[in-house]
Amino acid sequence: MLGLTVRWSLADAADGVEDRLATYVAETSHARFTGMAGLRFKIWRMVRGEWFEGCYVFATDEARAEFERTFTEGADTSPGSQIIGSSPILIEACDIVAVAEGWDGFAATPRC
């Protein structure tokens, strides 16, 4: 599977940025990526005071390459960068070796 990770540092971000990011994901970003062509799924991850990232899994090389190209071109002004106050520290394509769905399944909703 075809992954892409985009990570921002929160080390120098303003107080409360984590709550603003969670609100943005719940109110805007989740809907933007739900049903997106070429995307298998996206996960938003965060360690408060350390980092925030989007982890994407794409259906095709072309979908990943196009998303990476367009995101990289606008990374400095992306919503995440605007909320955090800095650009991503990492934009990295990777291979997803496997995904296992547990008994309780996936909860595809924000703020679970």
Domain borders along the chain are: 2-95
Whole-model pTM: value is: 0.92
Secondary structure tally for the chain: helices H, strands E:
4, 4
What span, in angstroms and rounded, lies between the C-alpha atoms of 65 and 57?
Answer: 12
Average pLDDT by consecutive 10-residue portion of the chain (112 residues)?
97 96 96 96 96 97 98 97 98 95 84 60
Is residue 102 a contact partner of residue 19, using CB atoms and an 8 Å limit? no
CATH class of 2-95: alpha beta
pLDDT of residue 107: 80
pLDDT of residue 106: 82
